[in-house]
Structure 1
């Protein structure tokens, strides 16, 4: 659960997960598989790279029992993710959507700042 005192804004949401930005603590909150995990900004993007690097094809083609799940322990969190192939795909979708929205917001702000500077001349 997200801290009730936190000031959060929804960044991206799917039926199986969501990412929120907390301006009070300057972090991102990931809701996934009925849990909430807080990430510092740099750790959030590092976590996304880690999830993107998981070899889904290997998980699906390897017949050993250990290949059915991927264990991911994000930096500086007390959370451990045990992910099936479907969980990895779902998490990738949530993280990719959040990254896109974060980048889109940054680009819109950059353009608005540029327009404001041009308007002041």
Structure 2
């Protein structure tokens, strides 16, 4: 559960989960499969890289039972994700969408600080 005192804003959401940004604690919250997990900013991007590095093709082509799921334990969290190939795809969509929105927001803020507001509006 997200801290009730947190000031969160939705960054990106799909039918499978969402990413929220907490400006009070300077972190991101992942809402996925009915649970929430808090990530420091750097840890969030490390987690995304870890999820992106999972080879789904290998999981699907390997007939052994051990390849049916991937276990991921994010740095500095008490959470353990047990992910099927479909879970990995759903999580990648959420994390990629959130990363894009974070970068887009940063670019817009930078342009506004530089006084290029008329360029954005035009």
After TM superposition, the score normalised by the length of structure 1 is 0.95
2:119 aligned partner = none
2:53 aligned partner = 53
Q: Given the alignment of the two structures, is residue 82 of structure 1 paired with residue 66 of structure 2, yes or no?
A: no
2:10 aligned partner = 10
- Residue-by-residue CA offset, 1:96-120 (whole Å, 9 max, x unaligned): 000000000000000001117xxxx
Question: After TM superposition, where is structure 1 displaced by more than 2 Å over at least 4 residues in a row?
Answer: none
Paired residue secondary structure (1:74): coil
1:119 aligned partner = none
- Residue-by-residue CA offset, 1:3-39 (whole Å, 9 max, x unaligned): 1110000000001010000000000000001000000
- For structure 2, the 5+ residue unaligned runs are 117-122
2:63 aligned partner = 63
Q: Given the alignment of the two structures, is residue 98 of structure 1 paired with residue 98 of structure 2, yes or no?
A: yes
> What is the distance in 2 between the residues matched to 1:106 and 1:5?
25
After TM superposition, the score normalised by the length of structure 2 is 0.94
Paired residue secondary structure (1:115): coil
> What is the distance in 2 between the residues matched to 1:39 and 1:80?
13
> What is the distance in 1 between the residues matched to 2:59 and 2:31?
24
Deviation at 1:82, TM superposition (A): 0.1
C-alpha RMSD of the superposition: 1.4
